[in-house]
Amino acid sequence: MSGANPHRDPAPAGARLRAHAARALARIVFDGVSLRTVATEAASLVTDPRDRALLSGTLFAATRWWLRFDAALARMVARPWSGKLHEVRALLVVGLAQIETLGLPDYAVVGACVDATRTLGHPRHAGLVNAVLRRWLRERSALGAELDHDPVTRHAHPRWLIDAIARDWPAQADAILAANNEPAPLTLRVNRRRGDRDALRARFAEAGIEAEPHARLPHALILPHGGEVSRLPGYVEGWFSVQDGAAQRVADLLAPADGQRVLDACAAPGGKTAHLLECADIDLLAIDRDPARLPRLRENLERLGLDAQIRVADAARPDEWWDGRTFDRILLDAPCSASGILRRQPDVRLHRRASDIAALAAVQEELLHASWPLLAPGGRLVYASCSVLRAENEASVAGLLAARQDARALDVPDTFGHVAGAGRQRLPGEDGMDGFFYALLEKTG
């Protein structure tokens, strides 16, 4: 057509959004890229805030329910999928997630997905996408009932994880699996050095933003709806950080006091580092072995008006960096399976494998043993993880207690969760928080 812009994408906006979602989902599922990474990249392609919110919600829902909806495709598509059709396969799961999980209008989703097939460069498969989605609409009750027979497709969790949760938490297994499939609320931690919860809540109210105080956390606010955090009042001024309530309890348990020397042994991206600095005037050393993660930690502290020593260092190799001065407090927030935060990171269920657990447990125990000599007599160490699996939590702590005569476990209050060996385990969804393990250890001599 005369005067047309040759660079303009002729596809409708809805089709472009579904195409973005399908490309991103395919990278998560088939390339092993993290949801956080692809969601950030995909959001940069969308200008309208409402479309960005829909894109984010779609990616989380499609990732969370991939194991269910992809199994549904296997019942509706006779031929095996070619690797060249990863994006078409992902597009169909995007469509099913928008219909079943997000509750978008059925036929609007079908039409947009058919158009998105062409946007993705697969026009020959537009008929397939149309037929599969319409078949789902006709047969959704029967197909859904069939999927519900298998725990894997009912809960959209890999079988090994379902079995591990059932073994470790038999009475709570169904509740854990259900909580993992519920979107998590946006929880903020108020920076007490900049203001208090009531003042921040008032700022939000002036901007028409609903926020409720957390019943168990004096410095926490809960926002029922997510969004672009950096646009919230007070963010730039460092009035708050995003941090789940379970993670906020870590600093409460470590309870640093003014003048103490503190080590945050696996610090990046710095949420707990900042919280410790907000709690007391301490001399804090924050280390992490991955140099790529430290710039974000520095940026977080700068925004919040906080200061710490920050070093690239491996907590498992203190001979390479430790100056011989002991610490009064040590936080070891250990690398783990992240099995307690699947509601926030649903891609974990697709990327983690059963064989990872033993390897992670070995790393956790190595970090505990390496950190213990750095603790001063009478000092305290908090071992924490965002896992719900006993092999990563109480077993790791038990290994240290068995090997060190100068180590003893102190009581962790019952407000931290269920008894789990020498520590406590909060399970996903309890008190609106993530799954988290806590142990408090003291050096006796």
**CATH number where 95 lies:** 1.10.940.10
String of DSSP letters for 203-260: HHHHTT---EE-SS-TTEEEESS---GGGSTTTTTT-EEE--HHHHHHHHHH---TT-
CATH number of the domain that residue 220 is part of: 3.30.70.1170
State the total domains in the chain.
Answer: 3
Could you tell me the CA-to-CA distances from 220 to 207, 212, 253, 415 in Å, in that order?
A: 19, 9, 16, 16
For 335, the domain range is: 245-443
Q: Based on the domain organization, do 420 and 359 belong to the same domain?
A: yes
Contact 398, 369 (CB under 8 A): no
CATH of the domain at 310: 3.40.50.150
- Which stretches does DSSP call E strand in 291-415? 309-312, 327-333, 375-385, 407-410
Residue 144 counted as domain residue: yes
- What pLDDT shows up at residue 427? 98
> Which residue type, as a one-letter code, is found at position 33?
V
Domain match, 238 and 290 both: no
Q: Looking at the structure, do residues 258 and 237 belong to the same domain, yes or no?
A: no
- The set of catalytic residues is 386
Tokens of 415: 């407000």
Mode of pairing for the β-strands spanning 327-333 and 418-420: unpaired
Q: Is residue 76 part of a domain?
A: yes
Considering 217, 242, 267, which residue would you say is the last residue of a domain?
242
Q: Does residue 264 belong to any structural domain of this protein?
A: yes
pLDDT at 1: 34
**What is the residue whose two structure tokens read 């003042």?**
199
pLDDT score of 10: 60
State which of 210, 242, 274 marks the end of a domain: 242
- The predicted pLDDT at position 79 comes to 84
pLDDT for 68-106, tens place per residue?
999 999 999 988 888 899 999 999 999 999 999 999 999
Same domain, 415 and 367: yes
Q: Is the pTM of this model over 0.85?
A: yes
The answer to whether residues 252 and 309 belong to one domain is yes
Give buried/exposed letters for 170-194 (b at 16+ CB in 10 A, else e).
eebbeebbebbbeebbbbbbbbeeb
Which residues of the chain carry a pLDDT beneath 70?
A: 1-10
Are 343 and 198 found together in one domain?
Answer: no
Query: What pLDDT score does 80 carry?
Result: 83
Tell me, yes or no, whether 234 and 372 share the same domain: no
Q: Are residues 49 and 116 located together in one domain of the fold?
A: yes
pLDDT tens digits, residue range 384-434?
999 999 999 999 999 999 999 999 999 999 999 999 999 999 999 999 999
**Same domain for 195 and 119?**
no
Q: Could you tell me if 253 and 223 lie in one domain?
A: no
Are residues 220 and 358 both part of a single domain? Answer: no
Task: Tell me, yes or no, whether 122 and 213 share the same domain.
Answer: no
Domain membership flag for residue 336: yes
